[in-house]
Amino acid sequence: MSKNSRFKLISRFTKGIHGAIIVVLVTSLTSTVLNAMIPRIFSFTIDEVLVPGGIPLLKEHLWILSLIVIGIALCNGGSIFLYRTYTAKAGETFAKNMRDVLFSHVQRLPMKWHGENQTGDIIQRCTADVETIRNFVVTQILEVFRTVFLVTISLVMMFSMNVKLTFAAIAFIPVIIWYSTVFYGLIAKNFKAADEAGGELSTVVQENATGVRVVRAFGREKFEIDRFDEKNNFFAKLWIRLGTLSGAYWGIGDLITGLQVMVIIVLGAVQAVRGNITAGEFVAFASYNTTLTWPIRGLGRILSEMSKAGVSFDRVDYILDSAEEDMGNAGKEPESMDIGFECVSFAYDNSNQVLRDISFQIKAGTTFGILGGTGSGKSTLIHLLDRLYEIKEGRITIGGIDLREIPRPWIRRHIGMVLQEPFLFSKSIRDNIAAANPDASMEEIREAARIACVDEDIMAFTDQYETLVGERGVTLSGGQRQRIAIARMLLAKSPVMVFDDSLSAVDAETDTKIRHALREKMKAATVILISHRVTTLMEADEIMVLNQGAVAEQGTHGELIQGNGIYQRIYEIQMNQDDRRLLEEGGSLA
């Protein structure tokens, strides 16, 4: 990322804080000027007041000088208060602006991007890296201006007192800048590695927290602890290395600074003895020398923070530079919900294709079943239909219009989905169901829950619909999570409803009840059922069987069980003789 790009990025997030930055600069300059007056007052007091024959009035009333110093200190305190207050205001507003833009941008990034980036690393970029940039931009850059003020005023004062001694003082500055630059490169390299390791550590924690049930069920506690320990040790070693570099930097800096101060004290004493500088000027010069040395000494800290911020700028820019999905409303809107797949092939990357030459039609208002084994491409079909991924081969249509010509918002308003592993928010059950339609009444929410056969379960809880759901729904059973997700989709009243193996965690009887309720209440809706359970699909108007990404069979339940294909074999395995007899007699498994 170029310096110009970083400047543009900084400018983008400083909107609304220009006034605060001006106050910070003005108060910084004011504080610097006030601080520069103190050594001059001390010098004047020593050379003009305390010496024999000094100014009688001030000599007899030293409280006047003391009052002046106190007044300067009070003004300086007020300036520092305003400086700190407005620095905090500017800094937090800057960080807030950046976090808002990052979060909004991440929401619009395509699924492909999310699949290629770890959640923990995304979190690290949006939190720790933002904080690093905030610290540099608002604290360190403003500190640079403060340093320039201090150094300029100090040099003016020092040159006005003794030119030779001033040149001796600034002779050490190139050395300080050189070694600071050397450490700048070392710290930048090591901070990047440490920051990336932090992202990996966050990912481990996030995966463990969201997969806690799997960890408990398979007794993987020790494995997870060992995995975390490995990442944590590596992360700690990198930060210890950074600490060592920082310690070396400050240690060498203290040595150089100490030598510089010692040289100035010795040379200043010599100059004072020879009468080239007064005692008061020597005291003031030593004070200004300290004021000169420590800001330049802080250059290393600024360069260190700059190196960290440079890494963070690149990591944040990676997100902001990623292309968003086209969420515009321009395009055609279909007049019917007839769905067609025409010779569709798809691969997530350059590896083997997940789908190969898929073609089928779904009439609006019908129920379409999809059966297939793990990895056969069932879920991928739905991801493509919802435009979570873009196809490169073939064509998908809704109402005869190419999916790529239909605005994404329209598609996602008209196609409701329930996944096999539904996501629930850490809110109440009512809030989770109403997420699809925040304006829905309580009766509408309960009606959706009844169709999903989860109303009775909810009413059995102490707090009923106000029951708080644990993170990702961990406090509910798998079947309850799925049925709440179904109720949420039903409340959206989408004309196309997709059940991506979302009845897998419920028993056969509840499965049947839900499908019958859907058929009765949602007669006009197009229903796409994806399942490994034949009983879920057998009443569909059309059933398609996928095998290794290709269409193996297609037809009605009656047609498919007459053949000698995959569907018939699965049917024989899943259905016992009594179940088949009951169905053949016109009964129901429910």
**166: amino acid identity, one letter:** T
Position 34 scores a pLDDT of 85
Q: How much is the pLDDT for 368?
A: 92
Q: CATH number of the domain that 253 lies in? A: 1.20.1560.10
**Does 344 fall in a domain?**
no
Q: What is the pLDDT of residue 252?
A: 78
User: In this structure, what token pair is assigned to residue 403?
Assistant: 């999916």
282 and 428 housed in the same domain: no
Amino acid type, 41: I
Residue ranges making up the domain that contains 281: 3-320
If asked whether residues 169 and 232 sit together in one domain, one would say: yes
CATH number, domain of 505, equals: 3.40.50.300
> Could you tell me if residue 343 is left (phi over 0), alpha (psi between -120 and 50 degrees) or otherwise beta?
left
**Which pLDDT tens digits describe the chain residue by residue (590 residues)?**
555 577 777 878 887 788 888 898 899 888 888 877 887 777 777 767 666 666 776 666 677 778 888 888 899 889 889 988 988 888 888 888 888 888 888 888 887 787 777 777 788 888 888 888 888 887 777 777 877 888 888 888 888 888 888 888 888 778 777 777 777 667 767 777 787 787 777 777 766 766 665 666 556 677 777 878 888 888 888 888 878 877 777 777 778 777 888 888 888 888 888 778 888 888 888 888 877 777 766 666 676 677 778 888 888 888 888 887 776 666 778 888 899 999 999 888 776 788 889 999 999 988 899 988 777 888 888 888 888 888 888 999 998 898 888 888 888 888 888 877 777 787 888 888 888 788 888 988 888 888 888 888 888 888 888 888 865 555 677 778 888 888 888 888 888 888 887 766 666 677 777 777 777 767 778 888 888 778 788 888 899 998 888 888 899 988 888 888 888 888 888 776 445 544 554 444 44
CA distance 5 to 224: 41
Is 390 domain-assigned?
no
Phi-psi region of 255 (alpha: psi -120 to 50; beta: other; left: phi over 0): alpha
Instruction: Report helix, strand or coil for 544.
Output: strand
Do 45 and 51 touch, CB atoms closer than 8 A? no
Rounded CA-CA distance 449/455 in Å is 5
Question: What are 361's strand-pairing partners?
Answer: 340
Measured between alpha carbons, how far is 36 from 42 in angstroms, rounded to an integer?
11
- Is residue 398 assigned to a domain? no
Examine residue 288 and state whether it is found in any structural domain, yes or no: yes
The tally of domains found in the chain comes to 2
Per-residue pLDDT, 590: 40
Q: What is the DSSP string of 343-372?
A: EEEE-SSSSS-SEEEEEEEE-TT-EEEEEE
Across the beta sheet with 367-372, the strand order is 415-418, 496-500, 526-531, 367-372, 542-547, 550-555
Whether residues 293 and 375 fall in one domain: no
Residue 330's contacts (CB-CB under 8 Å, 6 or more residues apart) are 407
Same domain, 288 and 437: no
Token pair 């220009």: residue: 18
pLDDT of residue 209: 66
Token reading at 340: 């067609």
Question: Do both 295 and 425 map to the same domain?
Answer: no
Judgement on whether residues 185 and 40 belong to the same structural domain of the protein:
yes
| Alpha-carbon dihedral sign for residues 229, 235, 237, 239 | negative
Nearest to 566 by CA among 558, 554, 582: 554
Distance CA 45, CA 27 (A): 27
pLDDT confidence of residue 397: 92
Q: Does one domain contain both 138 and 261?
A: yes
Calpha distance 138→483 (Å, rounded): 49
> Cα 369 from chain centroid?
38
The number of C-alpha atoms within 13 Å of 54 and in the hemisphere containing its C-beta is: 16
Tell me if 401 is assigned to some domain.
no
Tell me which residue of 460, 531, 524, 536 sits closest to 497, measured CA to CA. Answer: 524
| Residue 407 in domain | no
Do 293 and 160 fall into the same domain? Answer: yes
Q: What is the model's pLDDT at position 342?
A: 92
Domain shared by 315 and 418, yes or no: no
d(CA 489, CA 417): 7
pLDDT of residue 363: 92
Q: Tell me, yes or no, whether 589 lies in a domain.
A: no
Backbone angles phi, psi at 215, to 5 degrees: -60, -45
Token pair, residue 28, equals 């910084």
Looking at residue 583, its pLDDT comes to 53
Amino acid found at 80: I
Per-residue pLDDT at 361: 92
Compute the distance between CA of residue 394 and CA of residue 200 in angstroms, rounded to an integer.
38
Are residues 373 and 276 both part of a single domain?
A: no
Measured CA to CA in angstroms, residue 173 lies from 180, 253, 303 at distances of 11, 11, 15
Residue 474's SS3 state is coil
Q: Are residues 99 and 234 in the same domain?
A: yes
For residues 378 and 372, give the distance between their C-alpha atoms in angstroms, rounded to a whole number: 7
Query: Quick one: 307 and 422 in the same domain?
Result: no
Quick one: pLDDT at residue 575?
Answer: 73
Phi, psi of 309 (to 5 degrees): -65, -35
What number of residues does the chain have? 590
Residue at 353 is within a domain: no
Backbone φ and ψ of 476, nearest 5°:
-110, 160
Q: How far is 401 from 364, CA to CA, in rounded Å? A: 14
